[in-house]
Amino acid sequence: MTRHVAQAFARAASEGRSALIGYLPAGFPDHALSVRLICAMVESGVDIVEVGLPYSDPLMDGPVIQQAVNQALAAGSTTDTVIQVVREVADAGATAVVMSYWNPIERYGVRRFASALQQAGGSGLIAPDLTPEESADWTAAADEFDIDRIFLVAPSSTDARIAEIVRYSSGFVYAASTMGVTGVRTSVGGAAGALVARTKAVTSLPVAVGLGVSTAEQAAEVAAYADGVIVGSAFVRRVLEAPGDDAAIAAVSELARELATGVRAQRTP
């Protein structure tokens, strides 16, 4: 059964906190371990998981995620692998969305992908290089199979553009905290708070902030104004630096607990 994104945000809101969203590529470092890692993240406090679809030309990703994606591809990860990982983590109780560039989905078949994602228990898709104007096929397929369409807004987005993007969105809106590629940063982009405020002014959807969050302190900072906190590269780096499988699981679990503490630091009545 699909565990909808809205339900995960509602649960977090009922506890007076932001939702914690964690990213990891499917098949990284291999299929079985990626499932164990994602499940460990959820067990340790992650509310929604972004299951990354490995792609050979990840232009919007920094070196940490690129390295992980290359490992997943070398291990044989495909779009079918992604669907299977979603199925396994959803069966374990996770709310899962897919993060992917558009080209692999278009090649796989838009309607075929939406159908497979629904059957696997997936809840949504984030495609950072897909614009609303080019999303007619995806919008139709996502609506047919009850898959959330999660689009991105950025600090450079005008108010008119934000209003247009959220009109096509469902589930939540992904607010990129800064311009540039993914990666761990020493601080969250200063424009993030204003971007969330401008976005929330034109939609009732939850707004989650990603790009650059890696510590409990940064998570708490973002949780003060956003409905969700997205962490990707920091989880990937913990796996890359771990000396073995058990150490990798322990490392992502530790980070998830730290971040979960951070989003709860801004708990509201």
Catalytic residue (one of 15, 43, 57, 61): 61
The closest alpha carbon to 169, from 197, 194, 149, 190, belongs to 149
User: Measured at the alpha carbon of residue 125, what is the angle toward residues 119 and 128, in degrees to the nearest 5?
Assistant: 155
Torsion of CA 164, 167, 168, 172, to 10 degrees: 110
**Euclidean distance between CA atoms 251 and 124, whole angstroms:** 27
Catalytic residue (one of 47, 50, 148, 227): 50
Please give the structure tokens belonging to residue 213: 């969050």
Catalytic site includes residue 61? yes
142 with 148: CB under 8 angstroms? yes
Catalytic site includes residue 50? yes
Phi, psi of 208 (to 5 degrees): -115, 140
223 with 267: CB under 8 angstroms? no
DSSP category for residue 47:
S
Please give the structure tokens belonging to residue 86: 């979603």
The closest alpha carbon to 132, from 123, 122, 142, belongs to 142
**Euclidean distance between CA atoms 63 and 31, whole angstroms:** 21
DSSP string covering 229-264, please?
Answer: EEE-HHHHHHHHH-SSHHHHHHHHHHHHHHHHHHHH
Q: Which residues are catalytic?
A: 50, 61
